[in-house]
Each structure stands twice: as C-alpha cells, then as structure tokens.
Amino acid sequence: MISVGIDIGSITVKCAVIKDNEILATSLDLTGFDVKKAWNKVFYDTINKANILEKQIDYIISTGYGRESVDIADKKITEITCHGAGAHFLDPRVRTVIDIGGQDSKAISLDKNGRILDFVMNDKCAAGTGRFLEVMARAMGVDLKEFGNLSLEAKDPVKISSLCTVFAESEVITMVSKGKKREDIIAGIHNSIASRTFSMANRLQISPPIMLTGGVAKNKGLVKALEKKFAQDIIVSPFAQLNGAIGAAYLAQNHKK
C-alpha cells in the first residue's frame, strides 16, 4: 500500500510518501503565490525521491489551509486530524501535540490510539507563530536559523509584555535602543511565546508526553522555553515540520481507491 500526504501551509508545502507504514520520502518548499504550482512541484519531487510512479499510488490525502486546491487528492482532511495522526505515527506514546505553524498555533489532546479527544487553536493572531519569529528576527537583525541558538546564551532574559506582533516588535526595538543584550531580548521573545502557548494549551487536559510539531520545532531556544514553562521534556521529531503531511499519508494507509 503506497499513500501520499500533501500539507499546504501558509508558508510551506510539505509532502510525504508512505509504503506499508514506512516513510519512503518527504519534501518541502515555499508555498508562494501560486499554490497549485507549489504543491505540484513538491509532490513530484517526493515521488521521484521515493522512486515510484504516480500510477503506483493507492491513495492521496491533502490537508492544511490550501487542501482544497489539491485536485489529485482522493480525500481532504483538516490539519487538526492529520497533525494528531502524524504525531501518533511518529511516537505512539504522545498524548498532547503542540503545533506552531506559520500563522497559527494549536494544541491537540490524543487518546492511546491517536484519536482526537479535544483541541484548541489560535488562528486570529500571528503572535507566537512562525511569522512572529520572522518579524522578531528581522527586527533584531539576526538570521532566523541562529535565533534559537543565540537565546541559549542569555543571562538575564527581558520581559516582553505585548501579545501583539506589531506592538511586540516596537517593544523589541525600544529595548535594542536601550542597549539590552541581543541574546537576552531573544530569550525574552521565546519566553513570551512559551507563556502564550502554555495559556492556550492549558485550556485542554495536558497529558504527557508532549510533542512539538511545526517548523519552529527546529528552534532550540523555543523548545527550551516551552520545556521550562510546561515543566517537562518535550519530544521533537526530526520530521516535526513534516508532521501534517506524514499524518495525512498515514491516514491514507487505511484507504483504497
């Protein structure tokens, strides 16, 4: 059984190919303006990596905000369901999923079979998301890839009081002008996101183990801030950014055309 999951997010498109519950290949690229062109490129890149032909695929599921644009999909499923399934596939022990995407964040509670028990979502504001981190990195004049590592060097993290991206950026710029250390400001930004994420997730029954998914999971400084706030270790898979696509492909394993 060969299945494909395509996850179209606000910033990146992800694709995963699974055969008999084993990941064969994954790819991702920027979503850009032309969503259909983006997912087509990623889809064919992934099946080429997997060394399979399109006609060999048994089932395709699309997810993410742009899932309706995937006309080759046999089924379209919400990202909540796919992120839960992806986390369960990657680590069946997981009971809580924290997903921080490009423009939204969500917390998902799972049962032992990976089914969704409950979820909460912040999709009204970009604060605490990947886009928020991009804005903050630009304001600090730091490459986003170095953002997390720099915060690990902080000695006295500042307090970021604003929950709004625009006002938080203004607050950061003010701190820079006052001569606050860059690493202390960045650590303060991560602590602010961790607090916001904890408040959101706390509306659920948080049960360990917790898994962090989404592109921001690569940010070691944010992972540390979240672990401190949640007072426990957080699982980060090497496939964290591809979790939604993997979940979609995993769900597709149970379908036949």
Of 84, 92, 63, nearest to 3 (Cα)?
63
Residue range 1-91+242-257 forms a domain whose CATH class is: alpha beta
Looking at residue 123, its pLDDT comes to 62
Q: How far apart are CA 119 and CA 41, in angstroms?
A: 32
Q: How far apart are CA 215 and CA 98, in angstroms?
A: 12
User: Per residue in 118-141, pLDDT tens?
Assistant: 999 986 666 778 888 888 888 888
Q: How far apart are CA 13 and CA 39, in angstroms?
A: 6
Looking at residue 124, its pLDDT comes to 64
Residues 6+ away with beta carbon under 8 Å from 175: 158, 185, 188
Q: In the predicted model, is pLDDT for residue 159 greater than 80?
A: yes
Looking at residue 228, its pLDDT comes to 96
Q: What is the mean pLDDT of residues 104-114?
A: 94
Residue 202 DSSP code: T
Between strands 105-110 and 96-100, the pairing is antiparallel
Q: In the predicted model, is pLDDT for residue 73 greater than 80?
A: yes
Cβ atoms of 12 and 30 closer than 8 Å: yes
Kindly list the domain boundaries of the chain, sorted by start residue.
1-91+242-257, 93-236
User: Per residue in 18-70, pLDDT tens?
Assistant: 999 999 999 999 999 999 999 999 999 999 999 999 999 999 999 999 999 99
Q: Which residue has the higher pLDDT, 173 or 116?
A: 116
The predicted model scores a pTM of 0.93
pLDDT tier, 254 (very low <50, low <70, confident <90, very high otherwise): confident
CA 203 from chain centre, in angstroms, equals 20
Residue 110 DSSP code: E
The DSSP annotation for 9-30 comes to -SSEEEEEEEETTEEEEEEEEE
pLDDT tier, 166 (very low <50, low <70, confident <90, very high otherwise): confident
Task: Please identify which residue in the block is written with the tokens 């997981």.
Answer: 94
Domain 1-91+242-257 identical in fold to domain 93-236: yes
Architecture of domain 93-236: 2-Layer Sandwich (3.30)
Q: How far apart are CA 2 and CA 66, in angstroms?
A: 23
Looking at residue 214, its pLDDT comes to 93
Q: How far apart are CA 43 and CA 73, in angstroms?
A: 11
User: Per residue in 173-232, pLDDT tens?
Assistant: 888 888 899 999 999 999 999 998 999 999 998 999 999 999 899 999 999 999 999 999
Strand ranges across the sheet with 105-110: 116-122, 105-110, 96-100, 210-213, 234-235
